[in-house]
Amino acid sequence: MIDHFGINCADWDASRSFYDAVLSTLGHARVMDFGVAVGYGSDGNPVFWISDASKGEDVDGPNREVHIAFAANGIEQVQAFYDAALAAGAESLHAPRLWPEYHPGYYGAFVRDPEGNNVEAVFHGAAPAGG
């Protein structure tokens, strides 16, 4: 059900140090690092993300939203999730598309739920564009 999720951290340096230390005891490490967001996991698969709350896009102050990504079984389910979310009144953040900056075949759609959280449906096996 859950593909990955992320939280925002007000003390970015302390949070990275904390999660580096505690997650290593469970066999996890940083597997992606975008400077303002770090993904932890094993086998190269980031499952838990932390982000620098001060670098958020919220014009009213630091970004405190939670990010939750639900696993989809195909691009059709990603589209159905997106359509249902919009019909239920969600704000579109990103329409369904390939996200090659994450990895080849990453196909996702992002919406903002009624509480302001960033909610995604993702499928990891989409064919690359033109392929």
Determine the Cα–Cα distance for residues 74 and 31; give it in Å rounded to an integer: 24
The model's pLDDT over 80-105, given as tens digits with 9 standing for 90+, comes to 999 999 999 999 999 999 999 989 99
Put simply, whether the predicted model's pTM sits higher than 0.75 gets the answer: yes
Q: Give 31's contacts (C-beta < 8 A, 6+ positions apart).
A: 39, 40, 41, 42, 44, 45, 46
Domains of the chain plus CATH, in order, are 1-52 (3.10.180.10), 65-131 (3.10.180.10)
Three-state DSSP class for 130?
coil
Q: Could you tell me the strand order of the sheet in which 45-52 lies?
A: 29-33, 37-42, 45-52, 2-9, 67-71, 118-123, 107-112, 91-98
Q: Is 79 helix (H, G, I), strand (E, B) or coil?
A: helix
Query: Mind listing the pLDDT tens digit for each residue in 60-80?
Result: 445 567 899 999 999 999 999
